[in-house]
Structure 1
Amino acid sequence: MTDRARNRRRIETNRPTVRTWGYRGPPAPSTTPPILGTYLVNATAAIGVTGLGVMGRNLARNFARNGYTVAVHNRSAGRTRALVEEFGHEGAFVPAESAADFVAALERPRRLMIMVQAGAVTDAVIDEFAPLLEPGDMIIDGGNAHYADTRRREEALRERGLHFVGAGVSGGEEGALNGPAVMVGGSTESYDVLGPMFESISAKVGGEPCATHIGTDGAGHFVKMVHNGIEYADMQLIAEAYDLLRQVAGYTPSEIADIFRSWNEGRLGSYLIEITAEVLAHTDAATGLAFVDVVADAAGQKGTGRWTVQTALDLGSPVTAIAQATFSRAASGQSALRAAYAGLPGGTTPPLSRTEATRFTSQVEHALYASKVIAYDQGWKMIQDAAGEFGWKIDLGAVARIWRGGCIIRASFLDRIRAAYATDPDLVSLLGEMEFAMEITDAQVPWRETVASAARRGIPVPAFSAALAHYDTLRAERLPAALLQGQRDYFGAHTYERTDRPGAFHTHWAEADRPETAA
Structure 2
Amino acid sequence: MVPSIIHIIFGVAGSGKTTIGKLLAKELNIPFYDADDFHPEANILKMSNSIPLEDIDRMPWLEKLAENITNWQKGKGAVLACSALKQKYRDILQSGSISKINWIFLDTDERIIQKRLETREGHFFRKELISTQFETLEKPKSGIFIDATQELEQVMSQIKSQLITKKSQLGLIGLGVMGKSLSKNIVSKGFGLSVYNRHVENQEVDVAKTFVEEFEENTNVIGFDDLSSFMNSLEQPRTIVIMVHAGKAIDEVIESILPLLAKGDCVIDGGNSHFKKTIEREQLLLKQGVGFLGVGISGGEEGALKGPSIMPGGTKEAYLRAGVFLEAIAAKDKKDKPCCAYIGPQGAGHFVKMIHNGIEYAEMQTLAEIYHLLRYHCNQDPIQISTIFDSWRRNKKDSFLLEITIDILRKKEGDVFLIDKVLDKAGQKGTGGWSTIAALELGVPLNTISEAVMARNLSGLKSRRVETSLLYNIEKTPVKEEINTFIDILEDAFLVTNIINHAIGFDVIAKASDEYKWDLRMSEIARIWTNGCIIRSNLMEEISELFIENNNTPLLLFPQIVKSLSRGVPALKKVISSAVIANCAMPVMSSAINYFLTHSSAQSSANIIQAQRDYFGAHTYQRVDREITEFFHTNWKTQ
Q: TM-score, normalised by structure 1?
A: 0.90
> Is residue 397 of structure 1 aligned with residue 526 of structure 2?
no
Aligned residue for 1:431?
556
- Which has the higher Rg, Structure 1 or Structure 2? 2
Alignment counterpart, residue 566 of structure 2, candidates 431, 441, 456: 441
Assess, with a 3 A threshold, how the Cα gap between structure 1 residues 266 and 164 changes in structure 2: closer, same or farther. Answer: same
What is the deviation of 1:508?
A: 4.1
What is the deviation of 1:268?
A: 1.6
| C-alpha distance in 1 between matches for 2:278 and 2:599 | 33
**Higher normalized contact order (CA 8 Å, seq sep 6+, divided by chain length):** 1
Task: Kindly provide the CA deviation profile for residues 426-475 of structure 1, in whole angstroms up to 9, marking residues without a partner as x.
Answer: 21x22222222111111122111000001111100000000010000110
Task: Kindly provide the CA deviation profile for residues 53-96 of structure 1, in whole angstroms up to 9, marking residues without a partner as x.
Answer: 11111111111110100011110261110111012445601222
AA paired with 1:487?
Q
AA paired with 2:349?
G
Task: Kindly provide the CA deviation profile for residues 274-310 of structure 1, in whole angstroms up to 9, marking residues without a partner as x.
Answer: 111111111123xx21111111111111111111111
Aligned residue for 1:124?
252
What is the deviation of 1:352?
A: 4.3
1:12-411 → structure 2 map (5 Å cutoff): 12-15=99-102, 41-76=164-199, 78-89=206-217, 92-206=220-334, 207-285=336-414, 288-343=415-470, 344=472, 346=474, 350-352=478-480, 356-411=482-537
The answer (yes or no) to whether the contact 1:65–1:91 under 8 Å persists in 2 is: no
The answer (yes or no) to whether the contact 1:249–1:360 under 8 Å persists in 2 is: no
Alignment counterpart, residue 616 of structure 2, candidates 476, 491, 499: 491
Assess, with a 3 A threshold, how the Cα gap between structure 1 residues 281 and 16 changes in structure 2: closer, same or farther. Answer: farther
C-alpha RMSD over aligned residues: 2.1
Any unmatched runs of 5+ in structure 2?
1-62, 67-87, 105-161, 200-204
The answer (yes or no) to whether the contact 2:426–2:459 under 8 Å persists in 1 is: yes
AA paired with 1:368?
F
> Is residue 477 of structure 1 aligned with residue 602 of structure 2?
yes
The answer (yes or no) to whether the contact 2:510–2:552 under 8 Å persists in 1 is: no
Assess, with a 3 A threshold, how the Cα gap between structure 1 residues 121 and 40 changes in structure 2: closer, same or farther. Answer: farther
Assess, with a 3 A threshold, how the Cα gap between structure 1 residues 5 and 63 changes in structure 2: closer, same or farther. Answer: farther
Q: Would you say how many aligned residue pairs link Structure 1 and Structure 2?
A: 487
- Between the two proteins, what is the percent identity of the paired residues? 37
| C-alpha distance in 2 between matches for 1:262 and 1:5 | 50
Task: Kindly provide the CA deviation profile for residues 348-377 of structure 1, in whole angstroms up to 9, marking residues without a partner as x.
Answer: 755547xx1000001111111100111111
> Is residue 467 of structure 1 aligned with residue 595 of structure 2?
no
Stretch of structure 1 that moved more, 343-352 or 373-382: 343-352
Assess, with a 3 A threshold, how the Cα gap between structure 1 residues 284 and 16 changes in structure 2: closer, same or farther. Answer: farther
What is the deviation of 1:411?
A: 0.5
AA paired with 1:480?
S
| C-alpha distance in 2 between matches for 1:312 and 1:367 | 25
The answer (yes or no) to whether the contact 2:294–2:313 under 8 Å persists in 1 is: yes
What is the deviation of 1:129?
A: 0.4
Aligned residue for 1:454?
579
| C-alpha distance in 1 between matches for 2:411 and 2:326 | 35
| C-alpha distance in 2 between matches for 1:269 and 1:40 | 49
What is the deviation of 1:212?
A: 0.7
Provide the secondary structure at the position in 1 that maps to 2:397.
Answer: coil
| C-alpha distance in 2 between matches for 1:114 and 1:346 | 50
What is the deviation of 1:314?
A: 1.1
The answer (yes or no) to whether the contact 2:425–2:459 under 8 Å persists in 1 is: yes
The answer (yes or no) to whether the contact 2:266–2:322 under 8 Å persists in 1 is: no
AA paired with 1:119?
G
Task: Kindly provide the CA deviation profile for residues 100-154 of structure 1, in whole angstroms up to 9, marking residues without a partner as x.
Answer: 1111111122101111111111101000101111111111000111111101111
| C-alpha distance in 2 between matches for 1:349 and 1:421 | 43
The answer (yes or no) to whether the contact 1:184–1:213 under 8 Å persists in 2 is: yes
Q: TM-score, normalised by structure 2?
A: 0.73
Aligned residue for 1:25?
none
Assess, with a 3 A threshold, how the Cα gap between structure 1 residues 121 and 478 changes in structure 2: closer, same or farther. Answer: same
